[in-house]
């Protein structure tokens, strides 16, 4: 409904600042002309929206505007509760637990049909998560020993920005004073983590902005791999290797495409675990890597 979209546009502009009409149109899945009409309606309703012309133009709500009415409905609170329960299950964070109790006390319902149970995510990482969170809050550098993908081990002292869960693992987003740049470190590769007395040497942007910039500079080398997969293994290739079917045969077998990271090992182990249910078609050097790994395993057991 239009009234709901007008309210949502107001909230979006308050949260994101200046935004172009095309960005709003894409986000709300309507035409640019519809957004322009919605902006006119908001202005008529007294919302102080400032328009900027030109290539970098857009719409922005005046800083003097404050939305004073109750923002969350009972349905909204049910989703807030679900998200908080997921956060608590993943981190066991005391502050998150306290906030969850507050929201529970003012919410009448938590039944939106969704349960987020991330308790498995904190297995072995809970103490590290809490230590890093403390360092982020105190704005203190941390020191740890780290083994990278090339099996090189070094000691790092970095300024922690945020802990994030992605790619099926926990990572630390941090500023490296040695590299004078932001880096992402996998928590499972850390050891000897300590909070130092060194304060941050610079003022950092918000974690989400830094992460977006860091992702754009992804230096990992990706490879496209074509495999022939038997029907029995298709679901596992899709689940564990994010495989995409490019050609399907009458017996249920298929050609599939995989995008893998050059110097990571997990996908190689997954391919080996599938045995004769999967065959690498190309590239040739990846075929050779799998053949060499298989020969070493056979030699070991001989």
- Residues ≥6 apart with Cβ < 8 Å to 244: 256, 257, 258
Can you read off the two tokens belonging to residue 179?
């590299």
Which residues of the chain carry a pLDDT beneath 70? 1, 66-74, 105-112, 123-125
Domain assignment present for residue 171? The answer is yes
Is 66 inside any structural domain? no
Domain boundary among 185, 215, 245: 215
Query: Which of these, 195, 162, 161, 154, lies nearest to 178 by C-alpha position?
Result: 154
138 shares its domain with 206 = yes
Q: How many domains does the chain have?
A: 4
Shared-domain flag, residues 273 and 297: yes
The Cβ of residue 117 has, within 10 Å, a number of other Cβ atoms equal to 10
Are both 235 and 294 inside the same structural domain? yes
**Where residue 23 sits, what CATH number does that domain have?**
1.10.10.10
pLDDT single digits (tens) 58-107: 999 887 776 554 556 667 777 778 888 888 888 888 788 877 777 776 66
Q: Which helix (H) or strand (E) holds 295?
A: helix 284-301
In a domain, 135, yes or no: yes
How does DSSP assign 92-124, residue by residue? --HHHHHHHHHHHHH-S---SS-----GGGGTT
C-beta separation of 154 from 93 below 8 A: no
Give the count of beta carbons closer than 10 Å to the beta carbon of residue 11.
12
DSSP 5-39: HHHHHHHHHHHH-SB-HHHHHHHHTS-HHHHHHHH
Q: What pLDDT is stored for residue 69 in this prediction?
A: 47
In a domain? residue 69: no
Phi first, then psi: give them for residue 170, nearest 5 degrees.
Answer: -85, 140
Domain of 265, in residue numbers: 222-301
DSSP state of 201: S
- CATH number at 168 reads 2.30.30
Per DSSP (E only), the strands in 148-271 are: 153-166, 169-176, 181-186, 190-199, 222-229, 244-248, 254-261
Residue 107: inside a domain: yes
User: Of the candidates 191, 215, 239, which is a domain's last residue?
Assistant: 215
Shared domain check, 188 and 164: yes
Q: What's residue 105's pLDDT?
A: 65
98 in any annotated domain: yes
Q: Are 143 and 157 spatial neighbours (Cβ–Cβ below 8 Å)? A: yes
Q: Is residue 80 part of a domain?
A: yes
pTM score, whole prediction? 0.63
Residue 68 forms part of a structural domain: no
Same domain assignment for residues 144 and 86? no
> Rounded distance, CA 48 to CA 10, Å?
10
CATH classification at residue 264: 3.30.70
The residue out of 61, 83, 109 marking a domain boundary is 61
Q: Are residues 156 and 199 in the same domain?
A: yes
Query: What are the beta bridge partners of residue 184?
Result: 173
């Amino acid at each position: 409904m239009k009234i709901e979209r007008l309210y949502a546009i107001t909230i979006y502009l308050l949260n994101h600042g200046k935004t172009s009409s095309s960005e709003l149109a894409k986000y709300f899945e309507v035409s640019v002309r519809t957004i322009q009409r919605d902006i006119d309606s908001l202005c008529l309703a007294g919302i102080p929206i400032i328009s900027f012309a030109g290539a970098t133009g857009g719409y922005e709500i005046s800083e003097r505007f404050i939305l004073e009415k109750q923002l969350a409905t009972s349905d909204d609170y049910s989703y807030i509760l679900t998200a908080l329960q997921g956060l608590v299950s993943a981190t066991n964070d005391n502050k998150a637990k306290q906030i969850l109790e507050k929201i529970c006390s003012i919410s009448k319902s938590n039944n939106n049909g969704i349960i987020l149970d991330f308790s498995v995510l904190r297995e072995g990482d809970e103490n590290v998560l809490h230590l890093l969170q403390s360092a982020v809050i105190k704005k203190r550098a941390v020191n740890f020993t780290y083994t990278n993908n090339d099996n090189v081990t070094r000691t790092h002292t970095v300024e922690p920005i945020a802990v994030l869960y992605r790619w099926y693992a926990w990572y630390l987003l941090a500023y490296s004073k040695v590299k004078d740049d932001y880096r992402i470190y996998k928590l499972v590769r850390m050891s000897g983590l300590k909070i130092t007395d060194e304060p941050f040497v610079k003022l950092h942007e918000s974690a989400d902005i830094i992460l977006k910039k860091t992702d754009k500079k992804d230096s990992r080398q990706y490879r496209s791999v074509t495999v022939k997969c038997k029907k029995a293994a298709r679901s596992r290739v899709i689940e564990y290797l994010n495989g995409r079917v490019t050609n399907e045969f009458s017996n249920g077998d298929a050609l599939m495409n995989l995008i893998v990271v050059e110097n990571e090992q997990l996908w190689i182990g997954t391919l080996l675990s599938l045995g004769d249910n999967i065959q690498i078609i190309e590239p040739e050097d990846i075929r050779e890597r799998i053949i060499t790994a298989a020969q070493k395993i056979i030699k070991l057991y001989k």
